[in-house]
Amino acid sequence: MCASSCFFFQETPPTSSCVSNTNIVKAIRELRASIRSWARPLAIHAMHLREKKEATLHSMEELCECRRLALLAISKLLSKLEVQHCNMDQWKLFGYVTGFLASLYGHRLGVFLNMTDGQVTKAVHCPEKGDYLLKVEEHKTNQSFGLAKMLLSSQEYGWLLSSIQMKNRLTAGSAKSKYVFFNTNASPSSLLTRYLQMAWLEMNLRGVPTFTSLRTAMATFARDRHGEDSEERHSMARFMCHDTATSDKYYAMDLTIKQARKGRLLFEQAQETTSTRTLHHCDVEEHKTNQSFGLAKMLLSSQEYGWLLSSIQMKNRLTAGSAKSKYVFFNTNASPSSLLTRYLQMAWLEMNLRGVPTFTSLRTAMATFARDRHGEDSEERHSMARFMCHDTATSDKYYAMDLTIKQARKGRLLFEQAQETTSTRTLHHCDALVRVEVVSGLTPQSTKNLPCPEVRPLVASALTWQK
pLDDT tens, N- to C-terminus, the chain (467 residues): 555 666 676 777 777 778 787 887 888 888 887 777 777 676 677 767 766 766 678 888 999 999 999 999 999 999 999 999 899 999 999 999 999 999 988 899 999 999 999 999 999 888 888 888 898 988 888 888 888 888 888 999 999 999 999 988 887 767 778 899 988 776 777 899 999 999 999 999 999 999 989 988 888 888 878 777 777 888 888 888 877 776 665 554 455 566 566 666 666 665 654 444 555 556 666 667 666 666 777 778 888 888 888 888 888 888 776 777 788 888 777 677 778 898 889 999 999 999 899 988 888 888 887 777 777 777 777 777 777 777 777 655 554 445 555 556 665 666 666 655 444 444 444 343 334 433 445 555 665 665 555 555 655 655 554 44
pLDDT score, position 251: 52
Is the CA virtual torsion 351, 354, 356, 359 positive or negative?
negative
CA pair distance 110, 212, nearest whole angstrom? 11
pLDDT score, position 75: 93
Report whether 166 contacts 159 (CB < 8 A).
no
pLDDT score, position 72: 94
- pLDDT tens digit string along 166-203? 988 887 767 778 899 988 776 777 899 999 999 999 99
pLDDT score, position 331: 78
Which structural domains are found in the chain, ordered by start? 2-55 (no CATH), 60-219 (1.10.443), 257-374 (no CATH), 406-466 (no CATH)
Name the burial class of residue 439, with classes exposed (0-12), middle (13-18) and buried (19+) by CB atoms within 10 angstroms of its CB: exposed
pTM: 0.55
Q: Which residues contact 105 (CB under 8 A, 6 or more apart)?
A: 150, 218, 239, 240
CA within 13 Å, CB half, 164: 15
Q: Cα(first)–Cα(last) distance of the chain, in Å? A: 74
SS in 3 state form for the chain? CHHHHHHHHHHCCCCCCCCCHHHHHHHHHHHHHHHHHHHHHHHHHHHHHHHHHHHCCCCHHHHHHHHHHHHHHHHHHHHHHHHCCCHHHHHHHHHHHHHHHHHHHCCCHHHHHCCEHHHHHCCEEECCCCEEEEEECCCCCHHHHCCEEEEECHHHHHHHHHHHHHHHHHCCCCCCCCECCECCCCCECCCHHHHHHHHHHHCCCCCCCCHHHHHHHHHHHHHHHHCCCCHHHHHHHHHHCCCHHHHHHHCCCCCCHHHHHHHHHHHHHHCCCCCCCCEEEEEECCCCCHHHHCCEEEEEEHHHHHHHHHHHHHHHHHCCCCCCCCCCCECCCCCECCCHHHHHHHHHHHCCCCCCCCHHHHHHHHHHHHHHHHCCCCHHHHHHHHHHCCCHHHHHHHCCCCCCHHHHHHHHHHHHHHCCCCCCCCCCCHHHHHHHHHHHCCCHHHHHHCCCCCCHHHHHHHHHHHC
CA pair distance 430, 419, nearest whole angstrom? 25
